[in-house]
Amino acid sequence: MYNSPFTPFGPTYLVGTSPVQVASRNNDNPSSYRIRNTSASVQYISWSYNAPGSPTPTITVTAPTAGNPSAATLGFLPSSVEVIGGIPPNAWFEADAAGAFEVTPGEGL
C-alpha cells in the first residue's frame, strides 16, 4: 500500500442489499477502497474475494454480537467516510441496507 493520498482506480459503485463487484478500470489491482456510509444511521458492509470467472458470491451481512463475530464485515458510523486496505482486489461488497454505501477502488490512504 502506498502512503500517498487516495487515488481512484475506477468508478464509485453504489452498494446495497445485493452483491456488487467493485472493480478497478486501470488494469491495476486496488489495495484499498474508499467507503462512504450514505446513511444517517450506523450501517454494516461485508465483502468477498473475486473468484476466477467473477461468479456472484453469496455474502451475509450480519452485525457482530457478543460471542458471534462477523467475518469480513465492518460497521460504519452515520455519514462517515473511511479508506480501508487489506480487502482483496476487485472484491464483491454487500450492505445491510439498500443504497447504504458508495465504494471506490484505489490506492493510498
Across residues 71-86, what is the average pLDDT? 96
Position with higher pLDDT, 107 vs 109: 107
The share of the chain scoring above pLDDT 90, in percent, equals 87
Decide if pLDDT at 65 tops 70. Answer: yes
Q: Is the pLDDT score of 25 beyond 90?
A: yes
pLDDT band with cut points at 50, 70 and 90 for residue 3:
low
User: How far out from the chain centre does Cα 57 lie?
Assistant: 14
Distance CA 27, CA 14 (A): 21
